[in-house]
Amino acid sequence: MILSIESSCDDSSIAITKIETRELIYHKKISQEEEHSIYGGVVPELASRLHAVALPKILEETKEYFPHLKAIAVTNRPGLGVTLLEGITMAKTLSALLDIPLIGVHHLKAHIYSLFIEKEAITPLLVLLISGGHTQIIRVKSFENMEILATTIDDSVGESFDKTAKMMGLGYPGGAIIESLAKGGDEMRFNLPVPLRNSPLIAFSLSGLKNAVRLKIAECRDDLGVLSEEDKRDISASFQRAVKLHLLQKSKKIFERDTIRDFAIVGGASANLYIQDGYRELCNKYNKRVHRVELKYCSDNSAMVGRYAIEAYKRGEFTPIEELDIVVTKRQQNGDLL
């Protein structure tokens, strides 16, 4: 069995996965959404302190599996430095105590493997990864061969949902709140710009749209600065539509030239059914099969870290204890699949 730890942002999670059968025999996650909600975003220092309490609490429940463990896997890149360190310190301690190897896991690769929890992996595959930190299209030829085809030049999809929600005072994280409000809204009421619409660039950009939303919100406020419920719904729907059109427009360009038949959406924002519906249509048109992550594994979790680690374990890809460190350089944050 492998014990896997995730603490790259605001979710503390530990899982136990059987190496041979891929069976997930234990999985627990403690989210910190409520604690960060009042700040409208994740406060790294607070997140790290909460991990320091939550991770040992979860670990306590996994003690019975310790004699069966063959490796400890932990997310070590990319993410928030101070929160990654919490998971890494626990992983190193366990590795030294139990005398078993460590596997440092790339968070984005773990998101890709969230597709294959308790399942066999499918490759080759085109993946749209939309999370709080990243927005990219990745060609996954094999476990060893992954290539980023498109990435964001500024904000990520999840971040743009979070910021839009924050500007309307709706709380954190904003993704599910905006999606739910948008259901009752008029998506055609506000003509928000679809980013890079007339650009040949195969890349994503969300900061211009975020600014356009900011201006619309300011316009809609009454003399007391209050935004009506109808305005909130219509802004949410119009914003979500612009994001969907942007993602689809750029994905289409890749679909036109890439013949890989299987396509998947992963990451926290892949929980969005409105975006998923858009992709279902596009994939029908381009004769691609769409794969989705089970809702419970869309956002950050340790089950996906464990699933990735099984593949690494079988290939003997271990990380020496003295080399396991966090990686938070700008290039890594941009999602280099190193």
Interface residues with Zn ion (CB under 5 A) are: 131, 300
For 231, residues 6+ apart whose C-beta sits below 8 A from its C-beta are: 220
Chain residues 3-22 in contact with ligand KG4, contact rule CB under 6 A: 9
Q: Which of the listed partners (ligand KG4, Zn ion, none) does 272 bind, with a CB threshold of 5 to 8 Å by partner kind?
A: ligand KG4
Q: Among residues 40 and 132, whose Cβ is nearest to Zn ion?
A: 132
274 exposed, middle or buried (CB, 10 Å; 0-12, 13-18, 19+)?
Answer: middle
Which tokens in the block code for residue 149?
């085809």
1-26 burial, b at 16+ Cβ within 10 Å, e below that, comes to bbbbbbbbbbbbbbbbbbbeebebeb
Whole-angstrom distance, CA of residue 249 vs CA of residue 51: 39
Q: In angstroms, give the least distance from the CB of 70 to ligand KG4.
A: 27
Binding region for ligand KG4 (CB under 6 A) out of 85-93, 115-123, 159-167, 223-231: 159-167
271 binds ligand KG4 (CB under 6 A): yes
Q: In angstroms, give the least distance from the CB of 298 to ligand KG4.
A: 7
- Alpha-helical runs (H) found in the chain: 33-37, 44-60, 81-98, 107-113, 157-167, 174-182, 207-220, 229-257, 273-285, 303-314, 330-333
Q: What pairing do the DSSP bridges indicate for beta strands 146-151 and 125-130?
A: unpaired
Whole-angstrom distance, CA of residue 137 vs CA of residue 247: 10
Q: What is the CA radius of gyration of the chain?
A: 20
Site string for ligand KG4, 292-311 (x = CB under 6 A): -------xx-----------
How far, in Å, are 52, 241, 256, 273, 311 from residue 108 at the CA level? 23, 25, 25, 21, 15
Which tokens in the block code for residue 163?
């910021």
Please name every residue paired with 6 in a beta bridge, in sequence order, or none if there are none.
13
Q: In angstroms, give the least distance from the CB of 192 to ligand KG4.
A: 16
Considering only residues 104, 132, 278, 306, which one is a binding residue for ligand KG4 as defined by CB under 6 A?
132
Chain residues 241-270 in contact with ligand KG4, contact rule CB under 6 A: 267-269
174 binds ligand KG4 (CB under 6 A): yes
Q: In angstroms, give the least distance from the CB of 257 to ligand KG4.
A: 28
151 binds ligand KG4 (CB under 6 A): no
Q: Among residues 31 and 131, whose Cβ is nearest to Zn ion?
A: 131
Q: Among residues 104 and 185, whose Cβ is nearest to Zn ion?
A: 104
Q: In angstroms, give the least distance from the CB of 104 to ligand KG4.
A: 17
Whole-angstrom distance, CA of residue 63 vs CA of residue 257: 50
136 binds ligand KG4 (CB under 6 A): no
Tell which residue, 317, 297, 309, has the closest CA to residue 16: 309
Q: In angstroms, give the least distance from the CB of 144 to Zn ion.
A: 22
Q: Among residues 158 and 311, whose Cβ is nearest to ligand KG4?
A: 158
Binding region for ligand KG4 (CB under 6 A) out of 60-68, 157-165, 201-209, 305-313: 157-165
121 binds ligand KG4 (CB under 6 A): no
Q: Which residues bind ligand KG4 (CB under 6 A)?
A: 9, 131-133, 158-159, 161-162, 173-176, 179, 267-269, 271-272, 299-300
